[in-house]
Chains A and B, each alone.
Chain A
Amino acid sequence: MSDGQWSPSTGQIVVSGLTKQYKNVRAVDNLSFTVESGRVTGFLGPNGAGKTTTLRMLLNLVTPSGGTATIGGQRYADLTDPLRHVGAVLEASSAHKGRTGINHLRVICAAAGLPKSRADEALALVGLTPAAKRKFKGYSLGMKQRLGIAAAMLGNPRVLILDEPANGLDPEGIRWMRGFLKGLAHEGRTVLVSSHLLSEMQLLADDVVIIAAGKLIRQGPVEQVLGSMAQGGRVRVRTPQAEELTVALREQSATVETDEHGVLLISGLEAPAIGRAALAAKVELHELTPERPDLERVFLELTAGKAGIR
């Protein structure tokens, strides 16, 4: 594989001041962020936030009204042999319905100057070999997604860009995709995945970029973004001796609330301190769980009032 003038800093994606003005709406508004290699980056935003438009500008499919987007220091349009550097999966249904899966890949190989054998290899990589000679219209949604990924992997690229790849996948398919993308990042590749499925992103992503209404809301490692929103970290406690424990904890100036199931929600004390207090008071514990802020809640708080139709 020839790397051309690929810079040693490899597959870093840099979006800088990117803007897309349509007639009545500013779909992307002065957006800047970076995506590092060796990590899975989740690109999150409500529907209509401008995720797809941003990805399409990054890939030279849509012309920006302003700003730049580069991959490994170059604009997509300036890459020689783009498929050897960047693989992209945009919409699941992007193959001719009457063409077989293997022929779809061979057409791309021919245009990209890749050997025909890459089509078979890529199909095997996504586990689609048994359906190679079936026509695209006979594929399930999951198979279509896999074919899209196979097409993106034809040139063995350093950078992978996927737009809502989990759409329409069954749980098994989602688990497969998660393992596959994590594996690629582990090999040092850049993986940028847009999604609105937050629970999935929490399992998959190392970093997140959150946008709403075309603007950047937050960027950084998942724990950091979650941490910035952590609200004192409540701890859930279940115990048959709720009253005794409540008294013991209030002595240590913790705040104790009780939910409708009788579970204690404690703030102001960390889990180890609560455990110690329970032991000292000879209280039996059935559950002791620090509540972690999840991505969904953080996301909803961050994008509150900025989502929706513009």
Chain B
Amino acid sequence: MNLVRSELLKIRTTSTWWIFGLITVPLWALTALINWLQTDALANNNFGDVPADQADQIQAAQSVDSLAANVYTNGQFFGLMIVMLLGIIVVTSEFFHQTVTTTFLTVPHRTAVMLAKLAAAAVLAVLFWLVTTGFNLIFGALVMSSVDLGSQLGSGAVWRATALNGLAYLLWSVLGVGIGVLIRSQIGATVTGILLYLGGAVGAAIAISILAARWGDWINDLQVLVPSLASSLMVSGTEIPGNPPRWAGAVVLIGYAVVAGAIGTLTMRRRDIS
């Protein structure tokens, strides 16, 4: 417990956390705007002609639960990236500022140090989720009311999506810590993390749709293996036809987090600090 306290103190006594907090605000506002427009369009059916093979998916996305889940988890896309970067920095700043020597002198038990770092990153991620969700409850209620669907705050689907969103924040921070251990260079780890996140979302989606067109629809199910797609699948409010089930997204993401955390810890145990 001392160790987690020390790790949280490390975060609190530098400016990283509030700088990232400040970056998060405009990104949240941007996605809020997009989600408002999208919800408005879906709720009012402003699509014109829809190809028959996509009608099912549109219809599912139009369901009230899905719309509500989407607005109440607003900000997730960039929020997850931010907590992943914070997880990376929790580890890499120790190498960047050479404080890792002091850290391991104070506590030679390196596994304990790594667990404390994972816990501290998770605490930070949950705080980001809590604040974001607070904003979302206000924003979401306004948007849902504006399209005459009511706030939907009584709906189980909304709260389930919100809770799963929290899980996603937590898991991405753990992934960040794992990346930070594997790539000690602060700039290298940050760039890799962002590429993995953004490139993973966009690039993999494109690649998979191309492959699916060539070899058949089953390849679409593989998108669940891409971390960022897995987490967006996990928090979608409803089952979308043609997509893998939501629990699969959760399983994949937990799997990545556990593997990253475990490899990170084992690597750190054996590494020479010089």
Chain B residues within 8 Å of A, Cβ to Cβ: 2-3, 5-6, 9-10, 13-16, 93, 97-99, 101-109, 270, 272-274
Which of chain A's residues have a CB closer than 8 A to the CB of B98?
91, 93-94
Distance (Å) between the CB of A262 and the closest chain B CB?
53
Say yes or no: is A56 at the interface (Cβ < 8 Å to chain B): yes
Which of chain B's residues have a CB closer than 8 A to the CB of A28?
none
CB pair A91 B272 closer than 8 Å: no
Q: A78's closest neighbor in chain B, by CB?
A: B108
Checking B9, B108, B272, B274 against A107 with a beta-carbon cut-off of 8 angstroms, the contacting residue is B9
CB pair B104 A61 closer than 8 Å: yes
| Contacts A/B (CB < 8 Å), 30 sampled | A60-B108, A61-B101, A61-B104, A61-B272, A62-B273, A62-B274, A76-B108, A77-B108, A82-B106, A83-B105, A83-B106, A88-B105, A93-B98, A94-B98, A94-B101, A95-B99, A96-B13, A96-B14, A96-B93, A96-B97, A100-B13, A106-B13, A107-B9, A107-B13, A108-B6, A108-B106, A110-B9, A111-B3, A111-B6, A113-B2
Say yes or no: is A224 at the interface (Cβ < 8 Å to chain B): no
Which of chain B's residues have a CB closer than 8 A to the CB of A93?
97-98
Q: Number of contacting residues on A, CB 8 A? A: 33
Which of chain B's residues have a CB closer than 8 A to the CB of A107?
6, 9-10, 13
Total contacts A to B, CB within 8 angstroms? 84
Interchain CA distance A83-B2 in the complex, whole Å: 14
Instruction: Identify the interface centre among A59, A83, A88, A111: most chain B CB within 10 Å of its CB.
Output: A111
Q: A82-B108, A88-B105, A91-B98 are in contact. Are A61 and B9 (CB under 8 A)?
A: no
Contacts beyond the supplied A82-B107, A103-B13: 12 A-B pairs with Cβ under 8 Å: A52-B274, A56-B272, A56-B274, A61-B104, A62-B274, A63-B270, A94-B102, A95-B97, A95-B99, A96-B99, A99-B14, A113-B2
CB pair A111 B106 closer than 8 Å: yes
Which of chain B's residues have a CB closer than 8 A to the CB of A98?
14-16
Which of chain A's residues have a CB closer than 8 A to the CB of B10?
96, 99, 107
Which of chain A's residues have a CB closer than 8 A to the CB of B14?
96, 98-99
